[in-house]
């Protein structure tokens, strides 16, 4: 499932391929995706040039030369790549845009169709879209006073807080677990039971983990590929995610896996000590 580092890697790859390229053709399968892409929008794309490629949370923003924005979400299995037109079109490709003279195509493929593409008429329309969805701030722009306030006022556990896109944009299961490990805080720790020092540590850990992952071009598990078709390599750097039973890279104790916020959660019980909370008691009794 692409998270911020994977989406950022796609965005960086696309930037070099798409800038100043004109859309010479648009083809869509018409299959239902998570976002609407009506024929009228497809027509509006024709003849436009890409003027900027950006990211917000897990969203890819393709800015066009008339200020409209093609907004794309990769969902769980989405791939957005520039490929030679002569290369066979793979199954589950939902949108194909010819570039320039048509030698290359921008292709959006999504096997499970949790992703989608939609066209918004302007920058302000895009801002409104994000406002309506309540998208939280970028992890790299998190203000400590905001972060402290959000964490200290919730009775949810830290894992659930990190996954909430309204609190923080772009983090999913992998980087939530990795950041909590880096910060040495237990994923089941409640927001209200978290000190300002711990929340500051978590904020800094998030930034470090995400930056490292971007440097590695993200993690390739399942279908994720960068814009140029390259795989990421951060999956080789995971310290807790998917490592249950393996020794902790810090203390050699066994990494454990539990269910939290409906997601499997990986942590080191020795490095990430749970301070006493109601949630903690049920966990110690092995009811989670
Ligand atoms: Zn450990």
The tens place of each residue's pLDDT in the chain, 288 residues long, gives 799 999 999 999 999 999 999 999 999 987 888 888 888 899 999 999 999 999 999 999 999 999 999 999 999 989 999 999 999 999 999 999 999 998 999 999 998 888 999 999 999 999 999 999 999 999 999 999 999 999 999 999 999 999 999 999 999 999 999 999 999 999 999 999 999 999 999 999 999 999 999 999 998 876 667 777 788 899 989 999 999 999 999 999 999 999 998 999 999 999 999 975 544 444 444 443
Task: Output 276-281 pairs: Cβ under 8 A, ≥24 positions apart.
Answer: 276/193, 277/188, 277/189, 277/190, 277/193, 278/190, 279/157, 279/188, 279/189, 279/190, 280/186, 280/188, 280/189
Out of 21, 233, 263, 270, pick the active-site residue. 263
Cα distance between residue 175 and residue 276, in whole Å: 25
Output the pLDDT for position 285: 43
Cα distance between residue 154 and residue 152, in whole Å: 6
Query: How many angstroms does the Cα of residue 255 sit away from the middle of ligand 1?
Result: 7
Output the pLDDT for position 136: 97
* Number of alpha carbons in the 13 Å side-chain half-sphere of residue 233: 3
Cα distance between residue 26 and residue 52, in whole Å: 19
Nearest to 18 by CA among 54, 55, 51: 51
Out of 58, 156, 217, 239, pick the active-site residue. 58
Output the pLDDT for position 106: 97
Output the pLDDT for position 284: 45
Give pTM, 2 decimals.
0.91
137 is catalytic: no
Output the pLDDT for position 288: 36
The SS3 assignment for 95 reads strand
Query: How many angstroms does the Cα of residue 274 sit away from the middle of ligand 1?
Result: 13
Query: How many angstroms does the Cα of residue 3 sit away from the middle of ligand 1?
Result: 25
211 is catalytic: no
247 is catalytic: no
* Number of alpha carbons in the 13 Å side-chain half-sphere of residue 36: 5
Query: How many angstroms does the Cα of residue 179 sit away from the middle of ligand 1?
Result: 14
2 is catalytic: yes
Cα distance between residue 4 and residue 138, in whole Å: 9
Query: How many angstroms does the Cα of residue 182 sit away from the middle of ligand 1?
Result: 10
Query: How many angstroms does the Cα of residue 270 sit away from the middle of ligand 1?
Result: 5
Output the pLDDT for position 275: 76
């Amino acid at each position: 499932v692409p998270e911020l580092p994977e989406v950022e890697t796609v965005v960086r790859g696309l930037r070099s391929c798409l800038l100043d390229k004109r859309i010479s053709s648009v083809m869509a399968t018409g299959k239902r995706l998570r976002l609407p892409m009506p024929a009228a929008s497809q027509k509006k794309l024709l003849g436009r040039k890409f003027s900027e490629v950006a990211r917000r949370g897990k969203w890819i923003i393709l800015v066009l030369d008339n200020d409209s924005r093609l907004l794309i979400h990769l969902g769980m299995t989405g791939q957005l790549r520039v490929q030679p037109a002569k290369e066979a079109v793979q199954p589950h490709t939902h949108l194909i845009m010819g570039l320039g003279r048509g030698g290359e195509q921008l292709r959006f493929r999504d096997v499970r169709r949790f992703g989608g593409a939609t066209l918004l008429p302007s920058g302000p329309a895009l801002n409104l879209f994000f406002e309506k969805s309540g998208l939280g701030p970028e992890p790299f722009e998190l203000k400590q006073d905001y972060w402290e306030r959000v964490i200290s006022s919730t009775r949810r556990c830290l894992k659930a807080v990190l996954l909430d896109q309204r609190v923080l944009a772009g983090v999913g299961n992998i980087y939530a677990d990795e950041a909590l490990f880096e910060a040495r805080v237990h994923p089941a720790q409640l927001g209200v039971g978290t000190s300002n020092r711990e929340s500051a540590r978590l904020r800094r850990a998030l930034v470090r983990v995400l930056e490292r992952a971007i440097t590695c071009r993200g993690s390739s598990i399942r279908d994720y590929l960068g814009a140029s078709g390259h795989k990421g390599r951060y999956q080789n750097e995971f310290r807790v995610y998917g490592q249950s039973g393996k020794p902790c890279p810090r203390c050699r104790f066994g990494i454990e896996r539990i269910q939290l916020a409906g997601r499997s959660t990986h942590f080191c019980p020795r490095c990430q000590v749970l301070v006493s909370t109601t949630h903690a008691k049920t966990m110690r009794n092995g009811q989670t």
